[in-house]
Copies of this chain bind each other. A is one copy, B any other.
Amino acid sequence: MAADPLSRVFSALADPTRRDIVARLSVGDATVNELAAPYDVTVQAVSKHLKVLEDAGLVSRSREAQRRPVHLEANVFDLMTKWIERYRRQAEERYRRLDDVLAAMPDATTPPPEGSPS
């Protein structure tokens, strides 16, 4: 399993079945059997998927009689959005600066790509 939390979250959501499970849990809690019903895989496979989601902190399981209702832990999403936003913003900022440079360029419609030889 991945060591860092961010890798675990990204990795957990890299599987379409797991994303689907998250989508369904966003509507409301559900048991393993309920979650497994729509798919043509065994309940054990879904249980494994849930373990991956749980290890990523995306999901928690409580106990209620012999059922184990699964609950979506949506706050972990912030970990990702923060990371994404950071670099997206940085890339956009860089893009903006590049535009400024291009706009400030007096002539040279085709700007020299490397160290410009004076």
For this chain, the copies found in one complex come to 2
A3-27 CB contacts (< 8 Å) to partner B: 4, 6-7, 10-11, 13-16, 19, 22-23, 25-27
**Distance of A72 Cα from B92 Cα, bound (Å):** 10
- CB proximity of A97 to chain B, nearest CB, Å: 10
Complex interface: chain B residues within 8 A of A15 (CB): 7
Contact A26 B94 (CB under 8 A): yes
Q: Taking chain A's interface residues, is the majority helix, strand, or loop, or is none over half, making it mixed?
A: helix
A83-118 CB contacts (< 8 Å) to partner B: 83-85, 87-88, 90-92, 94-95, 113-114
**Distance of A90 Cα from B10 Cα, bound (Å):** 20
Partner of A4, one of B16, B72, B87: B16
Contact A90 B7 (CB under 8 A): no
Contact B90 A26 (CB under 8 A): yes
Apart from A28-B94, A64-B114, A81-B85: 15 A-B pairs, beta carbons within 8 A = A2-B14, A6-B16, A7-B14, A7-B15, A10-B10, A22-B87, A25-B91, A26-B94, A27-B90, A64-B113, A74-B92, A77-B84, A77-B88, A80-B80, A81-B84
